[in-house]
Each structure stands twice: as structure tokens, then as C-alpha cells.
Structure 1
């Protein structure tokens, strides 16, 4: 059923990689115009937004005009979820999803059931091919899964949990990896680095390593490439499907897929970033999100702009680096460092009644979860969070829930999901 969008997207990607800058510019402008008309005609939130401003999509005659439209914030998505649903999509095509990022927002929205994942796979296949890897190659995925390990025969993937990387499980992980003999590793760079540190004198041969979900530190990349003698590729994207980028065969710059969405970088003064080396917040408009349009969406992630042309020959827009999503660790009662990517998702899955949340640690093995409650929040929500936390981490941490009125922003205007007061010493 979803084979067609997968094949169409993959075939299209073979052409877009050879596009000239002019073709990219023309394509993106046509996609923007189509998206704006669709949103105005079928999405109540945008219809109201345009009417309030006294304009129609036809009044948006240039990219500069488009950039005068207001940003879509995570708060707005929270407050207007139903109004952001397109009315011309059948009910059965809506699939609710929850972000698992580090912004402090349990964000709920909708994707097009089946179709979004089929298209996503086409892009992932393209990123894998940059390292001469393929979707059906044997692989190891290290992510925040609940099971310590699981083998998926259809995709020939061994899934290992970053939450269960204990002294007891690491030898088992290594044994399973050696038995599988994967072509590549994929997962959070913090978790892969922890595994690699354990395997330091007992490595395997790999084609490539793919990192996502966190910022990759230079020392991590150097350590992994030296240890495994292969290239480490970075991927950047999010469930909102408004931006997707990845490194290539020749450089560590992030190549933004121009047919996935339009990306702007906005500095702290609200201006467009246009100079090489300057940083700004990623504001993205997705071209595959018609069912729930994200138009000028503030992602909360910071990136560094690049004007360079990559040796790979693609004319894609480049980001020198992604500075947001820096990985966080907490220290367990046994002095174990635990990467905390995905814990926010755990809270979001436990309850719909948490508006915002933040983790705080100043004592080993003790975590404080600061919660901004919705009016419907109750002790049952607190109990479910505690139960989910204990199910995932056992007795390694004690969790205290504290209700607060708000979560303070950082000086960049972002939420800081983890406030870590303990000194973290983690190096190969």
C-alpha cells in the first residue's frame, strides 16, 4: 500500500542530487506556493491567521514576503492541535505521534499514516548509500528501546537499548554484535561512544557509523573513526518532518534535502542568517506535512550557516554544524553514566497532562523532574510517570516530582531539558 510513495520519493531523490541551485530555488518556491494555498483552503488555523493579517496566499509574491509570516512555535502547536489538522484528509489517515526531543515540550501532532514512514525510508536509504551501505545490510541500532536487545530478522537489525548499557549487559552486547557481523552501526553518538569505549581493544570491521538524535562532538567523531577505521556520518531531522539533513562522502557539513523542506536560520535578533560561520535557530517549513502543516516552524535547534560548496558536487544548502541537541548524561547510584535521550518521550507517553518538564540532578543517583501541570493533572499522572521511570531504570535512580509554574529558558531562548550540576567526566 505504501510502496508507491517510497518508490516515488526514492526515484525523485536520484534527480534532486543533480539539481542546479536555480532548479532548487524554483522547486522550493513552487512547493511553498502550493503549501500556502493548501493551508489557506484546508487548515483552519492558517485560514484564520491569513484573515487576521488581511492577506491571502496570492499576496505572498516572494521569499521575502514569505519570511514576514509569523513563526509557528511549539506552544502554538500545543494550543491549536485540532485547528492545524487539514480538513481534506480522511480521518483514517491521521496518526497521532509524540516528539521525543530535548526541548521540554511533550508535543503531540499528526502525521499521514504509513505514508510519512515510507517517504522517510526513502531518504534514509539515500543517506545510507552515501557510505555504500544498503537498507538490507546487517546493522546494529543503539537507541532508547525498552528491551535490552532485540533482533529484527526482516531488516536484519540488532536493536540494543542505550538505557541498559550496564556492566552486566555490555559483554552480551559485544557478543551479539560479533555474532551478527554488521556492516554499520546507527544510533545516539553518546551510546555508540560508550559501547566503543568498552570495545576499545576488541573492535569489528564496519563500513560506516551513522549518528542521529544528538550533537556529535569532534572528539567522539575522531575517537570512533580511529577505533573502527570507518567514516562517521551525522544525520539531523525530527518527527515533525520539516527538515532533514545529513553529511556526505566528502565532508562533515550537513547537506539539507531541498525537496524535504525549506530551512531558514534566524539569529537572536530575529534576522535571517546569511554569513558563513554565523549561528541561528533552525526554522523549517516541511513539504511533506500537508496533513498537519508546519510552516516557519521554530525547531529550537541551533546550527551554523555555511556558504561553501561541497566537493561531493551536490548543490544542497549546507550547515557547518548542528549545535543543538547536545547529549546529556545523568549519574546513577553506581556511578554509571546514563545518556538521557528519550526520557522526555517516556514522560510524554505516560501522560497527556504535562505541559512542560525539566530534569535536574545535583546528587548522584537522584533525579528531580520539574513538571508544569495542565489543569487535568492528578496524582494518577504522577504515579504513571514514577512507574514508567522505575520500569525503565529500576533502582539505579530515585525520582522526585516537583510541580512548578514554568520552566526558565536559556539565554538562547531554548528549553534546557536537563540541568546537570554534577561534574561529568566522560572521555575515551
Structure 2
């Protein structure tokens, strides 16, 4: 044994203990927040926002200068009522001012840096205190527990892992009872081994990127294969899950589908409750606003706005009124009819701003409205991607799974023909490959510039 061996083991176990403690804290506090009344939630936000804004203005150069230029009297800031007075920020600020958004004087030993935005082609570097991911994982587990997930349940993960530089198909974590399968290997010639791995592991849950599970579900449906022991549920995250995907997953895997919303910037976290597919946002994690294109708050249900978050977890590089480029709409006001929680709720999240097509008159057309995305379409293709550079015209790139004979191409074109009268001319082009992003995700709507940069 090397002389440094015992020290390394001690460091490992101390680190694991610290992560476990933060995980339990996130789980405990998120579970407790489920029982808060509306008045308790409002008082919590008032207190946390006041502390956060005053602290940021006093200690972080970016916010001190931002609020001074905007004429904000931080000493008089008192929470929710004053929040609209503050300027919003966006990923452009992270790119341009990132170093000035980090709290000075914090030891690098206490900081973790990571990138976000690889799926959009605009990569920003974020800084946070060590352990923040463990706390958020506890928050996510609190969301999952609403539908019966328990510690120790075996889970299969399909979430963009590139294992051993792409040389390995899967990886087992016996301590966490997790089997990770590389999304880069989801192909017809590996499906037998993947099905065998999942059947042998007998997971209770599949934790997935929806785009990754869509690929596996398409292969299973097209080849007539099925899992020997269906999971209890599918846990979607990191991407919008569309109605056609939910229908596909239920058909192929025969279980319930659950989704939560979060992002690498750590400003917001919310998930469906046990009785409704509406997103309940955890108050202990952050505060949610919906803003229109001019930055005005949206309060009416069913009116689409940009999710704008103020996160409570990251004190090293806090994000205050961060515009996420994701869009959604409020649910009806009041407690959730299904579970009674008083959390902020969204009836839907439409996904990122680029997950719209733009019609000739400038109207944004969400992918949730494209009803040609159904079983027939997925029986013929591996992946698809829309490319749009100008309003009213787009190209649908499809990666064939079978030979696309003229009758099959005619069938696909006929399924999308209804988009023309709505204001979108669509060209459909077979391509040999549609690469995944560095994170193993699939972008659904891109521009020609995105493709050239990839």
C-alpha cells in the first residue's frame, strides 16, 4: 500500500459523508416545504429574496454595478413586491461578465466550475460551492418520492453518458444500485444486448433523457421486442417531454411517466405531483417568474412566458432574475386540486425557445402542436430534427431506420402537409446521421449556423 493510501481513503469517506449529509438535507427540506401554507411560502420568499439581493449588491461586483446603474435602492428592497424593480439577466451576462458574478475571496478549493448550455451551442461557465449538486439531488429525490421512488431502488439510466470515451456500452454502480447505458450505442445492432442488460437488472425505474428513451422505444416498437419485466415508472428530466413521447413510452413500456424541470444554472426546480402533470416548483430551491418579451410579469393562466428564476442554493455565483430561454404557462391559481400543495405551478413547459417553429406571420408554433409525430413516423426513423433559418420555411431532417421507399416518403410528407396552410412550408430530407450533443441529448430545432458549428 502506498504511503498516501490511507489518507486518500479517509478523504474519500469524508467526502462521501459530506455529500450524503447534503443529500439528506435537500430531501428533508424539500419534503418539509410540501407542507408549507401559502402564507409560509410567501414569507419564506420575502426573507430569502431580501437576504440574497442585499448580500449580492454588497459583495458581488456585477450586481453592485448592475443595481447602481438601474437606480435600485437595495437598502429598501423587501422581497416579492420589489422584485420587478430589479433588472433581469441572461446567459449573455454569464458569457460577458462571468468572473465578476463570482463572490470574491472564496477559496478555489471550495468552488466547483462546470459548463452549461452545450445543447444550445452557447457554453457558459458557472461556479458554485462544493456539494451543491448533492443538495439538489436530494431535492430531485423528494420530487421522485411523490410517485413511490425509494432509496435503494434499482434504476437504469439513459442520459447521455459517454462511458470510457465511448468504448463501453454500460456501467454498473453497485453502491447506488444504478445501471448506466450509453445513449451513443442505442442502435438496432445493440438492442438485443441492451434489452438483456435491462432484463437482467430488473430496474424499478428508468431515469432518462426523453430523446434517448424515444430512440430505444422506437427500436423496440419497430422490432417487436419488449422488456421481460416492465419498470414501475419512467423518470424524465433535462429535456421537455412531449405528449407524443408520453404516449409512446406508455405504449412500449406499459408504465407511468414522470417529469421534472431543472437546469444547470440551478435557479429553479419543479416536478409533477403524484396526481397531475403540472410542474410544482420547490420554494426552498428558488423563486419562479414568467415574463413576456418586454420583461413584464405574466400572471394570467395559459399565457406563455419565459421562465425566469432566482436561485437560493448557489451563494458563490447567485443568479437573480435569470431568464432561462425556456417557456411555459401558469396553472390555475390556488392549491393544486390533485395534491393540495401551495407551490407555484406551471400547467406546461414548452421547452427551450429554440423548440418552436416560426410561421410566416411570426407566430411561434410549439412542437407539442405537431400531431404528425406518432407511431407511423417513428416506425420509419431513428431520429429527426427541424432546421429553420427564416419564418415560414423549415427542413425536417430524418435519419432512416428502414429503407424509405417512394411510398413511405409520400406517407411521411402527407402526414406533415397540414402545416402548409398554417404558415409553414416544410422540406423533408433523409440524412445518414443526426449527431447527439456533447451531453448525449438530441436537439429538435436548430439553425444552419448551429449545424455548421457542431
Structure 1 and Structure 2 fold alike (TM over 0.5): yes
Q: Counterpart of 2:147? A: 131
Which one of 115, 119, 122 corresponds to residue 138 of structure 2?
Answer: 122
What is the Cα deviation at residue 101 of structure 1? Answer: 5.0
Which one of 244, 252, 259 corresponds to residue 219 of structure 1?
Answer: 244
What is the Cα deviation at residue 207 of structure 1? Answer: 1.4
Which one of 16, 19, 29 corresponds to residue 46 of structure 2?
Answer: 29
* Structure 1 runs not aligned, ≥5 long: 330-334, 341-359, 366-394, 400-414, 422-428
SS in 1 for 2:289: strand
Is 2:37 the partner of 1:11? no
Q: 1:75 to 1:263 in 2, by over 3 A?
A: same
Which one of 315, 320, 327 corresponds to residue 342 of structure 2?
Answer: 315
What is the Cα deviation at residue 304 of structure 1? Answer: 1.4
Which one of 107, 110, 121 corresponds to residue 90 of structure 1?
Answer: 107
Distance 1:130 1:363 in 2: 38
SS in 2 for 1:235: strand
Q: Counterpart of 1:384? A: none
Distance 1:398 1:250 in 2: 36
SS in 1 for 2:231: coil
Is 2:67 the partner of 1:50? yes
Is 2:132 the partner of 1:110? no
What is the Cα deviation at residue 363 of structure 1? Answer: 6.9
What is the Cα deviation at residue 257 of structure 1? Answer: 0.7
Q: Counterpart of 1:404? A: none
Q: Is the 8 A contact 1:132 1:207 kept in 2?
A: no
* Structure 2 runs not aligned, ≥5 long: 1-17, 164-168, 357-366, 368-372, 374-379, 386-393, 400-430, 436-442, 450-454
Q: Counterpart of 1:304? A: 329
Q: Is the 8 A contact 1:242 1:261 kept in 2?
A: yes
Is 2:275 the partner of 1:250? yes
What is the Cα deviation at residue 336 of structure 1? Answer: 5.8
Q: Counterpart of 2:312? A: 287
Supply the RMSD in Å over aligned alpha carbons.
2.8
More helix by share: 2
Is 2:263 the partner of 1:238? yes
Q: Is the 8 A contact 1:235 1:245 kept in 2?
A: yes
Q: Is the 8 A contact 1:361 1:420 kept in 2?
A: no
Distance 1:28 1:61 in 2: 10
Q: Is the 8 A contact 1:104 1:416 kept in 2?
A: no
Q: In the TM superposition, what whole-angstrom CA distance separates every residue of 1:323-370 from its partner, at most 9, and x where no partner exists?
A: 0144999xxxxx963478xxxxxxxxxxxxxxxxxxx987778xxxxx
Q: 1:254 to 1:166 in 2, by over 3 A?
A: same
Distance 2:396 2:279 in 1: 35
Q: Is the 8 A contact 1:302 1:323 kept in 2?
A: yes
Q: Counterpart of 2:226? A: 202
Query: Relative to structure 2, which stretch is displaced further, 211-220 or 25-34?
Result: 211-220
Distance 2:220 2:397 in 1: 29
Q: Counterpart of 1:324? A: 351
What is the Cα deviation at residue 104 of structure 1? Answer: 3.1
Q: Is the 8 A contact 1:267 1:281 kept in 2?
A: yes
Which one of 156, 164, 167 corresponds to residue 185 of structure 2?
Answer: 164
Q: Based on CA coordinates, which of the two structures has the bigger radius of gyration?
A: 2
Q: Is the 8 A contact 1:216 1:234 kept in 2?
A: yes
Q: Counterpart of 2:158? A: 142
SS in 1 for 2:288: strand
Q: Counterpart of 1:370? A: none
Which one of 314, 318, 337 corresponds to residue 382 of structure 2?
Answer: 337
Distance 1:363 1:66 in 2: 43
Which one of 195, 207, 211 corresponds to residue 186 of structure 1?
Answer: 207
Q: Counterpart of 2:286? A: 261
Q: Is the 8 A contact 2:299 2:330 kept in 1?
A: yes
Q: In the TM superposition, what whole-angstrom CA distance separates every residue of 1:34-65 from its partner, at most 9, and x where no partner exists?
A: 11122112211111222333444222235242
Which one of 188, 191, 194 corresponds to residue 173 of structure 1?
Answer: 194
Distance 1:361 1:117 in 2: 38
Q: Is the 8 A contact 1:104 1:417 kept in 2?
A: no
What is the Cα deviation at residue 67 of structure 1? Answer: 1.0
Distance 1:47 1:93 in 2: 23
